[in-house]
Structure 1
């Protein structure tokens, strides 16, 4: 279907409201002759004279009276559709966000994100999905936000770096060897709990130890950081987890955080989302909120207080390069 010239809509609206060619021309800042020609085009399109002479002026035809509310509504809808979105009212948002993240990141950001949503956007619901053999293309229709170490992303996915962290070791606070800094030899001699989604027991830690002529004993490999910390507590082993995760869990578990005495690479943690939600105000709020929560977690990991009466006093390895 061939659409009519939509530029005629504002002129028709002005003519019907003013009931005058001259008045409509003044409103639209055009000449009276130009508006007269436009009225002629409108008559041909609509199939009705619209305005007819009555004494010294013009009056609307019955068809023009019928059209007036339709034209006003159509013009208002067109203007609304072509305007930038109004600032959102967070308290009025009704939305569910599907977020994919590992258990460690969920532990770090989950409670703070829930609290912020309850306070600022109570209509927001969070659906946290576990990592797996995921495809970044899921962001096109199934996932709203991906958190973690991101793979190579397709061209239609945006991303930003949340932080760089390094791994640390956590141990039961009561363990005698947890009260002092570890040497590489002491670190290697202790039993380890490692984390791998794919069950890999060997990592860059083993490569660095091998360079020093050392080898460690891995008691177990588990797929989740929180599970590794629980196993470390019950087996008096070292669990190797990201520094932010270690500090967060040590706030509620009797764990001591220790630096790993090896030159290990840092790990990039980012978030990724599809271009379909790039300009969405509610999604922008989600991204901004998560960024601030991670910044707070970094600040905690970098400068956790450890006075004798502070419940975080066991965070003895507090100078993390997060």
Structure 2
């Protein structure tokens, strides 16, 4: 049987998008053409691949089982048919989209941009905000690099630990806790808190650590970013617990004080993530190297 490698790309797009229209847009073909490809895939595999479920389409068990294998096969084919060429940074004309945690953008973004502009002036960086829900932009190729505290679990997403930072407590200067000899777990729990959560969660691992000591705290608000939470703390008696790297650019000039966290918790990790399709993309490899160097500023002993 003669196989058409175009069907592999079509199958990959169909499994990624979960719809004929989405797959057609991704591969820049018409919807009828993608429908015909789906028909050929069904005849070749003897499986429906996608079945109608209300207004959406649902992958079959077979489709789910081969999804990652299809990703890998397509990546291998692309590597063979599009061999890498020597990278010319002076003429490189490309836009990279980076979805980084806001504190990482503030801390490491300027160093990354400066290095990019020096080495490849034709490259543009798009820093975009994190979403309040988990999104598949890395898999769809809409985001090139992510940097945050979350290690992705999908097998086709690469992740590298590039930094870490201990948690500290930030309060306004003159806060009552700045006048005590030691910030104990009890004093920490007795204070009022603001948490950082892009999903608006009132609780986190700090509450679990307090519970193990038989303590609870009162969280009166959440903020979507650490920068916003620090502003709340600056104008009130609220405590905010954040990675120490967050405080480097914010505390000195904003009337804030940093106190040790009186709880035993592991350091916050920083992960750099990308889709495996870019493993051998020379421009992407170059950018990852610069990002790795910039994010190394997050390492706190």
Give your verdict on TM over 0.5. Answer: yes
Segments of 5+ residues of structure 1 without an aligned counterpart are: 1-80, 303-320
Q: 1:144 corresponds to which residue?
A: 144
Q: How many residues align?
A: 219
Structure label with greater radius of gyration:
1
Structure 1 residues 96-120: Cα deviation after superposition (integer angstroms, max 9, x where no partner):
1111122122222222222222222
Other structure's SS at 2:280 match: coil
Q: Deviations over 1:28-82 (max 9, x none)?
A: xxxxxxxxxxxxxxxxxxxxxxxxxxxxxxxxxxxxxxxxxxxxxxxxxxxxx98
8 Å CA contact 1:168–1:259 kept in 2: the answer is yes
* Structure 1: distance between partners of 2:200 and 2:271: 23
Displacement, 1:194? 0.5
Equivalent in the alignment of 1:172: 172
SS of residue matched to 1:285: helix
**1:167-187 Cα shifts (integer Å, max 9, x gaps):** 211112333523554111221
TM-score by length of 1: 0.61
How many Å separate the matches in 1 of 2:201 and 2:225? Answer: 13
Deviations 1:264-317 (A, max 9, x none): 23333211112222222221222111211122232xxx4xxxxxxxxxxxxxxx
CA distance in 2, matches of 1:178, 1:124: 46
Instruction: Give the secondary structure class of the aligned counterpart of 1:91.
Output: coil
- Partners of 1:257 and 1:169 in 2: CA distance: 6
Asked if structure 2 preserves the Cα contact closer than 8 Å seen for 1:167 and 1:242, the reply is: yes
Structure 1 stretch 155-164 or stretch 95-104: which is displaced more?
155-164
- Normalising to structure 2: TM-score of the pair? 0.65
Residue matched to 2:262 = 261
Query: Does structure 1 retain, via aligned residues, the 8 Å contact 2:108–2:297?
Result: no
Alignment of 1:91-240 (within 5 A): 91-132=90-131, 133-136=133-136, 138-178=138-178, 181-240=182-241
- How far off its partner does 1:195 sit? 0.8
Q: State how far apart, in whole Å, the 2-side matches of 1:140 and 1:271 are.
A: 17
Q: Do the aligned partners of 1:144 and 1:273 also contact (CA within 8 Å) in 2?
A: yes
Task: Give the whole-Å Cα distance in 2 for the aligned partners of 1:116 and 1:178.
Answer: 39
